[in-house]
Amino acid sequence: MHKLSLAMLVLTSVAAITAAADEIKPITVHLSWRIALDAQGHVTQIDATGKQPVDKVPQIRARLEKEIRGWRFGTGTVNGQPAPTDTGLQMTATLLTNGKDSVEIHIDQASTGVSLAHVTPPHYPPNAVMKHETGQVVLRIGYDAAGKVTSAALDPSAPAAPSALVKASITAVQTWAFQPETVGGHALAGYAITPFCYTLAQFASSHVEGKCDWKRPDTAESVGQGQALAVNPAAHLQTDVSGRAL
């Protein structure tokens, strides 16, 4: 049996490979970590959260984690002074292969903030399916210091959506759990934004699936379905990484 090249293995792992190497297209992956920062904003610990699309190719994650350890962050404060901070780090990256034995990683976006600990996908309401109602629902979700959801409503900048779809999304997120940021050892309550897309292509499935990106108008940060974008994170990435290639 021939040994798969690194490039082929990466793209097979994320189900984006075609028959010939020269036909392989760039693919986008969403990755997340939990990172610990000292008071000066240096990374002291980094742990991947949940299943990652590159888990079968540890070399990819190792390259990214080595890069992340060199980034600088702004931390939360206690009594006006920078303090050790634990935060989530979400990244969107594009993988490119030259068809040989190497993969180039392009970092599209990285952001800090709360992490998702438990997610239940919403169900497409049968009455909405019958009415052919579709749309994107963008929720602003409040959570307490224990990570329990305390509120959920359409984000003020969200597009209008059928009420049945909004209700289904809110019902789902009420069962979610978050892992808040901690500053100086104290967990922080806050807000996060997440989108859901309902399309007619989902007739064959009762669950919301597929690509569903939404861009926050005031910051141009984007977030995908199944992800959470912190509204006012305590930690901030100070290193400019967007567009960086590894």
Q: What pLDDT sits at residue 39?
A: 97
Residue 57 has pLDDT above 80, yes or no: no
pLDDT per residue as tens digits for the range 166-221: 999 999 999 999 999 999 999 999 999 999 999 887 544 444 444 678 888 877 78
DSSP assigned state of 124: P
- Residue 138 pairs in a beta bridge with 195
pLDDT beyond 90 at 224: no
- pLDDT for residue 68: 96
The helix (H) or strand (E) run that includes residue 128 is helix 126-130
6-114 fold = TolA/TonB C-terminal domain (3.30.2420)
pLDDT tens per residue across span 115-152: 999 999 899 999 998 999 999 999 999 999 999 999 99
pLDDT at 13: 45
Q: Give the CB-side neighbour count of residue 146, counting CA atoms within 13 A.
A: 3
Q: Is the pLDDT of residue 244 over 50?
A: yes
Candidate CATH numbers 1.10.10, 3.30.1150, 1.20.80, 3.40.50; the one for domain 115-230:
3.30.1150
Q: What is the pTM of this model?
A: 0.82
pLDDT for the residue numbered 26: 83
Q: Where are the domains of the chain?
A: 6-114, 115-230
